[in-house]
Structures are given as structure tokens and as C-alpha cells.
Structure 1
């Protein structure tokens, strides 16, 4: 995508610059539309980047909005709690929790929330409206200068459309209490376009305790998309509340104490809302292309969870509440231009990214959502600024390079209810980036990539000296954690209709730092190393059939030796997906997705593992005239009884020893369900 932008920048430079081998705008259009399969050859900077088009997103059958991200090769999206909670992400040998090393942006706004009450990098995608998604771009590894915090495993950006080809009125109904209504349309207004959308959704799920999930979503946008200066202004609003059936102990199901769809504490759940105002501007001139993106966002989350049941408090139980309220503001600036140096065409990009978070979060002991005591409360102000420069040089016809450097500076100011945990910290980090691209030969391009990256740690962990739960001394952690990535890969379109890629990667982390929101403390762990291979292929043999397949295998280990073992709990090993879609067969269309979620070690010595999980989703639709579609969607069509996620830890049920029992805890895959959607265009 960056190369396309810079090529467009070349179009507005003087003729002498254009003569240096920069493609014309018509050539770009031919690559992007006339030859869809070939468009990344000669433009991508690695084997692991790509774009998922709107039509591909539309063909996916997703149980929840965040599962749209599973169109990214090698990425698994799951859930271990109620629908309103952020998804759990797995990729490249990581259990990414709710987003610790996967940078997610929607319409230019960072979704990952730092120093969050539940977990660092918390990424809640429940505010997504799939019908508004224009495309999805993904980049993996720390090789890209414009990607900062949380991007070590990769980064994903989903854009929203400025204009709909027709209005949408959609109504869906299904078993397990599912209802959804959506209205969206766009209208010309003056020199621009107004877009609006409103969504209502309810769902109970298959659980013994009904989720009673209720969600609203709304979007209002004004945009101007012609001329040298283009911009949009967007307001979004989202709110939800729900009951949750969290992971449950295997022994409770085996003994018949509860059903596999039951809960130990049926009062778990939560509520959340998110409101944002954003703007984006792009200006093209004789000096290049300048982009500005700025936004402000307010969010409020309250989670009620009980993972250990009666281990800490045999009388009232161990339910706790995690509260996070914040105002987040950010501005991203970039300028791209093309010039010549020593006879070579050089594409340049400089950028600056600013972010401010004002956060109030807390950890409370509760019973049936009523507060019993306060473990900790904190007011956090976190500021950061990142600067980057990147250039691309076409040294020879079959060789080019992309080099960059990025510097990030962070300021933390924590005011805790325990003065021993208050304080201020500062940290900075600089990372180089380099990609070497060879070819293409026989429609095949080869890549070597190197880069440094990082993730920030929770601000509270950088100043905490006393464990707020036990009162014991704890060590402060470093604010920023470095990662270093290496990769070799290729991309080919040697077979007509096929685009395939192969990548071998390694990623080193200085420390598996993690803020444990359940305990209110940050626990640093050992350095780690991940090695793996990813292969993906998109095949479109004709106008009515597409086949999308990917498989990834990774080995994740702590480095050094430790009697406890070197396996990283929850680190994914193998994952595979197969998606087949048909369209343009008269009035009929449909798709199916087969998904393999491989075993994970649950403890450091690998004596306890999760099982494999295989699921199958699909949809079948009929076009009734030009304005109406009827779509039947099916989820977990194999009705597998496998697990969405597994953990191994100690908990206590009534009547068990005071020290508790170490056991596997799991959240089952939702049972088979169906939905019928009526979609009308107007």
C-alpha cells in the first residue's frame, strides 16, 4: 500500500522525475484492477503483507465482528468470555491475549488500549460494522517504520467506506436469541457525501446463563473524495452490556457439577461504551502527498470475572471487577515524496505520531457485581511521540531496498491510591528497519527483512513497588520491551489466477513482560524466541470461484534454561484455514470456512496441552431481483464439542482443599447455530 501511495506521489512531480522509471497512474490502475492477482508483485516489501478486499470480507461467515480478522493468514480470533469483551488473538507463536503484540487500527484509530484495566493492549472490536468495511491491510513483523507500539507480531488496519453504492436495510434472526438490524446509506451533500449507519444486536448464546447481550452501534461521516485535497470527518458511538460464561474447570464438568455450557459464577459479565470523533485529510501537491489523521475517543469498561471461584475468599467468592475509563487523543502526520539521487529514483516518507491517554482504572473485590473492597485505584497519564523516516530505492531493474528508522519516546505519570505505587517514568527506544527485494523472475519476487520493534508495558507496572493484594515488595519493570525480527520469503503468481507466498521468520523478545490485570501487578518473565513458517495462497481460476488457504507453524520458547521448562504457555504452534467462495452463478452465491486451531502448551514443561479445535462455518444466499438477498448462515456446522480456549491454573470449588486444585480450565466452542438474514438495497 505504501508503494502505491508513493507511486501516486510521483504522478504530481515534474516530468523529469516521472521519466526516472516511476509508473504512471494508468499503470497503477491496470495492476490493481486489470490484473488483481499480480498487483502485489513489484509493490509489496515483504512476503507477509497483503490486502483483503471488501468482496472477500463480505464472503466470510463470522460469528462476531472481530472474526473478520481471520482473513489474515495465520491469525486465529477466539473468545473466552461474554460477547462484549475483547477477543483473544493468536498468531506467529503468540497467545496475543487481547492484543499485546498485534497492532489493530480501524479507520486510522488505534484500537489497542495501553495501561488498560484488564490487560495491556486491550483491543475491543465489537464496535465494528462489517458492511462499512472497505478493505483490510495486514503487515507482519517489526519491519515497517510507520508501525509502532504493539506491532511485533504484526499490524492490521481496517478502513471504512466513504460512500455506499446503495442503501442497506438488513434484518437477521437466528436461534440462541439472535436478532440484528442494520440501516446504512449515503447521500451527496454539496461537494461531498454524508454516510450514516445504525445497528442494534441482541444475543443469548447457547449458555445455561443467557448472555442477554445487547449492543448498539452508530456511524455518521462526511467526506470529500475529489480534487487535490480529500478529507473525512467521522463520529462513532457504541454501547453494550452482557452476562458472561467464562472458562470453567474440567473437573466440574467431569463430576457433573455443571454442564459444559454452565458457569460457576453466573453473575459474571460487563458493560462497555465507546464514542469517538475522528478526521483524516490527504493533500497532493508538487511536493508530494501529505496525510493528517487525528481523533479523540472516550471509552468506559466494567468487567466482572471470577476465575478462581473460592480460592482466595471461601465465604464471598473470588469475583472481582476491573474498571477502565479513559480519554484518548492522537494525531498522525506523514509526508511522502519521490525524487532522484545519483540517477536513482528514491521514494521517501517522514512521519510523526502523537498520543495522549488520560486513564482511571481500578481493581475491586466484588460479589454478584457488588463492591466488597478496593484492591487498587490509579489515575494514569501516558504520553508518547514517535518519529520515523523510510526510503525505497530501485537500485537495479531486479533489486530494490526499503530502509527506515523509528524513534519512540514515552512519559508515564501514575497517581495510585497507595503512594508507594505512584511515580513518573520516561523511556525511549530507536529501531532500524531494512527490506531487500529481488526480482521478479518468472512472476516471483524474493524478500529479506530485518527490523526492531517494541511493545509498551502497563504504566502501573513501571512505578509499582508494593503488590496491592499481598503487600509484598515487587520490582518495577521497564516501560518499553524490545523485539527483533528476521524474515526470508517469496511471493509468486507463476500460475494464472494464483497468488501465493511463503515466509520463514524469527522473532526475539527481550522479555515476555505482562501486566496481570487479574492480580493488579506486572510480572516480568524471561526473554523468548519464536521461529516459524507461513504459507498462504489465493486462487481465482475463474469469475465465480475463489479459494483461500493458509497454514502456519511456529515454535515458541523461553531462552536460557529454567527447571520449570522453556515452553511459553498458550503459545500457538499450528494453525490453518481454508475458505472457498462462489459468486456470479446466476442468483446463487455462498462460501464456507474450515478452521484448524492447533495444540498449545499450557505450562512451561509442556506436561499439559490443549487439544486441537476444528470448526466449519458457511453461508448460502439467493439474489431475489436486484434489490433483495436472502442469506442463510451456519456456525459450527460440525457441532464440535472442542474448546475455544484452554488454560491451566489453580482454582477452588466448594468443599475442595483450601490450597485449591490445579486443573485445566476451558471455554467451549458455541454449539451449532443458524441465522437468516434479509438484505434489501434502496
Structure 2
């Protein structure tokens, strides 16, 4: 009965929100002022007078075009302080880090593409799993980012921030881009747009493959397609988009470092010959927007089909001569809606909206496997998870030098889980529901007379990430039947920030922020074990300095430094309070050169400081820096060639390091393995590699 009332309430709220959105006036004539989103081209920092915090901004397509990329998800490293790595094969979601958080595969940073959330709730591998491999960088119009929990329209998975990625509606000219590189890297992209029946139609297809430097070739194969029809603009128009993505690969997982040092395997060797996976993502989305003197409205809706079968051997050979491989399987359909409306009421800009999402998970499971053949079902479940978010936000300009933004958000989640397999799992399952109200406040002071480019910011708010519904409905551990505590659906976070943004010189925007955030519980779903673990409350604080300098139309220089301090509020058993894999210091420098002439290019340097591998901080990672270079030349009006040199200095370091128990084949064979040997687990960065691209437009 409670579930029925909840769903009825959601339906009524949705209908009301859609009616409200469509009540906006028709597109206005050019001489009528309209409310619309302000974007910045050429400089990623938000403009004073527009931003609500010191740590938000927009990255333009022009900046992305000359950025050297090893992996697609490195596009997110345009967000100051974000680090993107990998501990497995490149067909899998990346590992993300920001503000002292090991975000795993996306648990505390929310990303959307064309209004569709990318983070997957109650995922087979990890909560908030965020696979961005389906992106086509050439189609992106801009990336709008925020950090912190201060915006009312940011909901689940946004404790550290969010990024909204938008695609273009038209291209200047059709193009074909062919890229070849070392380790059998190859990529073909064909894209173009035109008019059809009064609509702007954009189409793109991508095929990519890569073996990587691994002793065991990755055999990555990616197929990707986009078809987009639109009319009008993003503020006054409609668009419908079809997207289809498939990928399969073989993975070299992280391995015990001692296996490399003692010569059992090479630096790029693997313990298991059959790790890897297959995945797909098919989506249909639509949007409608109208802006007028009375306000602005936007409605976005989507449905997507997602699947993953992922095979991994993170512990090696603890259990015996056969590798301890397991499969994590996920098959679901997700639909959702985002409707919002803004009014200008005298001195107050008022916004309100509703966000709905339902995940219909036909199967999410964990299986023991040998060479990708299932030998035992650890757990298998069917899930239904419905999430609703209502938000309202008021922005007021009190004086020429003072404005405030006050927001309130209410989130509700209702879910049911049915165990469909697993010896110790069949007693699990049931229903769970919970809600959270999250207030948000921002105070902005400035400009200051002749220093009109300077603003000061104070921000505070509540946020959260949801937890896997299996953790909220399971009374036993599926691996052995031992009792398990049912955990909360919400992990609440509270954050605050003091910041400043200034323009010391023409074209130079500099911002500094002092932030803190506390999480009620470091609750994470561990896909390798099929359980949700509570790792205690935590607190973090840090300092960030971000700079963007555009001295002229051709040149942009971005430089960032981020320091953070992450600790558990209560030390774990053994006395340690450090949060493992929380990177305390990162820095980056990017130079983009994109004139209208023949030459163009980009250089990026990134530094990762040493971080604790376990709670006592006795074991630490090795710090390193890495550089990537892109250099291109336009051969007339239609042709251009470019070369990417990745890991320019050929640094020998590790993309990721962990501390944990594992066994190699030799240790199992000679009887020294026992229940696993604690040690450093590493995944090396790829050596220097060169990729050459040739593009033609017509």
C-alpha cells in the first residue's frame, strides 16, 4: 500500500511538473528579453555575476578539440582537480578521483549526457558505475561542471560535484577522421549534419580498436553511433537523439607488484588469460525547451537499455590452481524525466523542477567462473528502483554587490529486490524506501568598484549518494550465509566552501576555494564479494587554486593545484584513520593553441602525489607526473593531419596502486599462498605511444 501511494504521488507530481513546463510562453521575438543559460566559450571559468561558487565553469568544444587523450573519459580531467585512471581493460568504466575521494567508478560524482544520467544505481560492479566510453569527443558542444553540494538540481551521486555534457545539433561540415597508432590502435569516425524535412539531422559513426601494450592483447573493439534530429536552439526548440554503443575487450587487471619484481610476469603481464567483458548502451532521448519574457521551461525524457558481463580475477589464485575468476552481470532498462521551469519575479529568479528515474533490473548477479564459464551462482537478483527528486531554488540580487541563492531539494527512493539465485542468497530480498531533504545556500559578494572582476563566495549544503538496494534488503552474506546488517539507502554528506574568483589581467580568471565535506558513512557496494560494506563516517577538507588564461583568441593556458586531507572520524581496527586511495595532492597544466592558421596543438602535464594505500598510512603509493602532446597541421581548407604522443617522457609509473591480499600462480603452486598475501597491487601506466590522425571535411 505504501509503495502504491508513493508511485501515485510520483505520477501526480510528474504530471503537474510537465503541465507547469508547457505553460511557458512560445518562443519570444528577438527584441523581447528572455531567460536563458549563459555559457562561456574559450575560457572554462564561469563569469563573475553568473557563477554561484568559485568552483564551477564550462569547457568549450574549442578547448576539447586540441586536447590529447589516451582514453575518452579523460575529457573529465578538464574539470579542475579531477583525475581519471584505469586498473583494468579500457572497455570498462574508468577510476575517478576528486577532493580526497576515491570515487571508484563514479559513486560521488554525477555525470549526465544530453540530460541522461550516466551513473548506474545498484550496479553489478559498483554503486554509481559511470562508463563514459560511449562519448564521441568531436560531437561535444560543451561540458558544464560544478563541484560541491550547493546546487538544488544536483541529486544522487553528486557529493563532490557534477558534470553535464551536451552534444552539438549541427556540424560546420561533414568529416571523416582516421587514426592509427602503436599497439594496433585504430579509429574511424564519420560524422555530418544536414537538413531533412525542416529538421537539422546529425549522424555519426565510430569504430575503434586497440590491443594496448599488454603481453596479453586487449583486443578492444568499440562500435558507436549517434543519430540526432532537432529544430531550433537549446533554449527554444526540440531534439530527439538515438545512441547505440557496444564494446568487448580482454583485460589485464591489476596484479601483485611482487609478481613483476620476481620475474613471474612482465611489467605488462597478466595472471588470468580470460579477464575482460562485453557491454552495450542503447538510448532514446528527447528534449523540449522554450524561453520567453515570462520564464524558461525545459523537459527532457529518456529510456535506455544497458548491459554488462564483466570477468575479473582481482585476487589471483587464493582458492586453488584455477584462477579465482568471477563474472559480474547487469541487464536493465532505465527510464527517466527531468522537467523544470524558471520565473523572473521582480528581483527574484525562481526555479523549480522534478526529476524521475526508474531502473528495471531484470538480472544483476555475481558468479564464480573458469575461463568465462559459470561454475557457481554467488548471488542473483531482480530489482526495481524508483527515485524522485523535487527541487526549488531562488536567486536574488539584493544590491549591485550582493546576491544569494537558496535551494531546497527532496529526494525519495523506493525499491524492491527479489533473490533469484545463490545458495545463501535466496532468503534475501524485500522492499526498502527512504527520503532526504537537502537545503542549499550560496552567498556571493561583489563586484567591487574598479575591481569589478572579483567576487567572494560562501556555499553550504547537504547532498548524498544512494546505496545499492541489495545492501538495504539483504540479511545474510551471499557468499557464506553469515548474518549481515541491513544498511541505509542514503549516505548523507554535508559540505561547505569559501571561495574567491578574480580577473587579475585581461583574459585571466583565477579562483581559489577552501572546502570541507563530511560523509555520514562510507557505504560502498563491493561487486567482487556481492555485499555492501560500511566503512565508517569520514571528513575531508582541502584547498584548490584554479587558473585559466586566454591572452588572445588562439591561446589558452589552464593551471590547477588541489590539496586535500581525508580521514575517517573513528579510526579503524588497528588504529589507522587514513582513507585509502585518497589522493592528497594533484596538479595540472594545459596549453591549447588553436589559431585560424595552419598549426594547432595542445600539451598537458599532470601530477599525482603519493597517497595512503591502507588506513595506517604505512604503505603509500609512488608519486609521478605524466605529459601528453598533440600537434596538428591544416593542409588547406579540407584536410588536416595531427599526431598525439601519449606519455611523452615515457614515465614508468602506475595508473593505480592498491593494498590487499592476492596470490600468484607460483605462490599457489609452491604452497606459500595460504589465505592470500597482503601486498601492493598495481596497474602500470601505458608506455610512450604515438597516434597519427588524418581528417577531411567536405
TM-score with structure 2 setting the length: 0.92
| Alignment gaps of 5+ in structure 2 | 1-20
- Flag the 1:227–1:362 CA change in 2: closer, same or farther, 3 A: closer
Write out aligned runs for 1:368-379 (5 A): 368-379=371-382
Matching of residues 613-628 of structure 1 within 5 Å? 613-628=624-639
Q: Report the alpha carbon displacement of residue 560 of structure 1 after superposing the two structures with TM.
A: 2.6
> What is the SS of the residue equivalent to 1:282?
strand
Per-residue deviation, 1:541: 1.6
Q: How does 1:205-224 map to 2 (within 5 A)?
A: 205-224=212-231
Distance 1:82 1:390, change over 3 A: same
Q: What is the match of residue 357 of structure 1?
A: 359
1:321 is matched with which residue?
A: 327
Residue 314 of structure 1 aligns to a residue whose secondary structure is coil
In the other structure, the counterpart of 2:14 is none
- Separation of aligned partners in 1, 2:649 and 2:70: 15
Is 1:500 equivalent to 2:510 in the alignment? Answer: yes
CA distance in structure 2 between the partners assigned to 1:516 and 1:200 by the alignment: 32
Deviation at 1:644, TM superposition (A): 0.1
Counterpart among 62, 78, 90 of residue 55 in structure 1: 62
Structure 1 residue 104: Cα displacement: 0.6
Verify: 1:587 aligned to 2:598, yes or no: yes
1:661 Cα offset (Å): 0.9
TM-aligned CA deviation for residue 266 of structure 1? 1.7
- Residue 657 of structure 1 deviates from its aligned partner by 2.9
CA contact (8 A) 2:26 2:292 kept: no
Give the structure-1-normalised TM-score.
0.94
1:64 to 2:71 alignment: yes
**SS of alignment partner, residue 145 of structure 1:** coil
1:243-642 equivalent positions in 2, closer than 5 A:
243-311=250-318, 313-340=319-346, 345-359=347-361, 360-417=363-420, 418-441=425-448, 442=451, 443-562=453-572, 563-584=574-595, 586-642=597-653
Q: Once the 2 structures are TM-superposed, how far is the Cα of residue 193 of structure 1 from its aligned partner?
A: 0.2
Q: How does 1:128-147 map to 2 (within 5 A)?
A: 128-147=135-154
Give distance in 2, aligned partners of 1:421 and 1:214: 38
Change (3 A) 1:648 1:144: same
Question: 1:665 aligns to what?
Answer: 681
Superposed displacement of residue 39, structure 1: 6.0
Distance 1:474 1:288, change over 3 A: same
SS across alignment from 1:66: helix
Q: Are positions 1:75 and 2:76 aligned together?
A: no
Q: Secondary structure at the match of 2:62?
A: helix
Q: Which residue matches 2:659? A: 648
Alpha-carbon distance between aligned partners in 2 of 1:419 and 1:483, rounded to the nearest angstrom: 33
* Matches of 1:169 and 1:104, distance apart in 2: 28
Query: Structure 1 residues 215-224 or 534-543, which shifts more?
Result: 534-543
* 1:70 partner SS: helix
Instruction: State whether residues 10 and 337 of structure 1, in contact with CA within 8 Å, keep that contact through their aligned partners in structure 2.
Output: no
Q: Does 1:108 align with 2:118?
A: no
For 2:613 and 2:235, the matched residues in 1 are separated by 54
Say which is worse superposed, 543-552 or 571-580, in terms of deviation. 543-552
Question: How far apart, CA to CA, are the structure 1 residues paired with 2:229 and 2:131?
Answer: 25
| Aligned alpha-carbon RMSD (Å) | 2.1
The separation in 1 between residues aligned to 2:335 and 2:249, in whole angstroms, is 28
The offset of 1:597, in angstroms, is: 1.4
Give the paired residue count: 661
Deviations 1:180-208 (A, max 9, x none): 00100000123320000000001000000
Secondary structure of the residue aligned to 1:67 is: helix
- Inter-partner Cα distance in structure 2 for 1:135 and 1:543: 18
Q: Hey, what's the Cα distance between the residues in 1 that align with 2:189 and 2:321?
A: 46
Name the SS of the counterpart of 2:302 in structure 1: strand
State the SS of the aligned residue for 1:462: helix
Q: Per the alignment, in what secondary structure is the counterpart of residue 77 of structure 2?
A: helix
Contact residue 13 and residue 338 of structure 1 kept, 8 A: no
1:194-247 alpha-carbon deviations (Å, 9 max, x no partner): 000000001000000000000000000100015984110000000011000000
CA contact 1:13–1:287 (8 Å) conserved in 2:
no
- Measure the CA separation in 1 of the matches of 2:329 and 2:370: 15
Assess, with a 3 A threshold, how the Cα gap between structure 1 residues 102 and 37 changes in structure 2: closer, same or farther. closer
Q: Is this contact kept in 2: 1:299–1:325, CA < 8 A?
A: yes
For residues 275 and 435 of structure 1, do their structure 2 counterparts lie closer, same or farther at Cα, with a shift above 3 Å needed? same
- Residues 187 and 27 of structure 1, relative CA distance in 2, 3 Å threshold: closer
> Once the 2 structures are TM-superposed, how far is the Cα of residue 110 of structure 1 from its aligned partner?
0.2
Deviation at 1:572, TM superposition (A): 1.3
3-state secondary structure, aligned to 1:494: strand
In structure 2, C-alpha distance between the alignment counterparts of 1:424 and 1:89, rounded to whole Å:
31
Alpha-carbon spacing, 1:477–1:189, altered in 2? closer, same or farther (3 Å)? same
TM-aligned CA distance change 1:303 to 1:32, over 3 Å: closer
Q: Partner of 2:542: helix, strand, or coil?
A: strand
User: Which position in structure 2 is the counterpart of 1:21?
Assistant: none
The residue matched to 1:493 in structure 2 has which SS? strand
Find the residue that maps to 2:532 and give its secondary structure.
strand
Change (3 A) 1:561 1:272: closer
- Cα distance in 1 for partners of 2:678, 2:396 equals 57
Supply the distance in 1 between the matched residues of 2:545 and 2:342 (Cα, whole angstroms). 32
Per-residue CA deviation, residues 335-377 of structure 1 (Å, 9 max, x unaligned), is 011012xxxx100000000000011110000011111111010
SS at match of 2:505: coil
Equivalent-residue separation in structure 2 for 1:190 and 1:11 (angstroms): 22
CA 541–269 in structure 1, closer or farther in 2 if over 3 Å, else same: same
Greater mean deviation of Cα atoms: 278-287 or 381-390:
278-287
Q: SS of the residue aligned with 1:159?
A: strand
Alignment deviations for residues 522-548 of structure 1 (CA, whole Å, 9 cap, x no partner): 111211001001111011122332211
Alpha-carbon distance in structure 2 between the residues aligned to 1:99 and 1:471 = 29
What's 2:12 paired with?
none
CA distance in 2: counterparts of 1:122 and 1:160, whole angstroms: 22
Deviation at 1:289, TM superposition (A): 1.1
Q: 2: CA distance between counterparts of 1:74 and 1:55?
A: 20
CA change 1:518–1:74 in 2 (3 A) is same
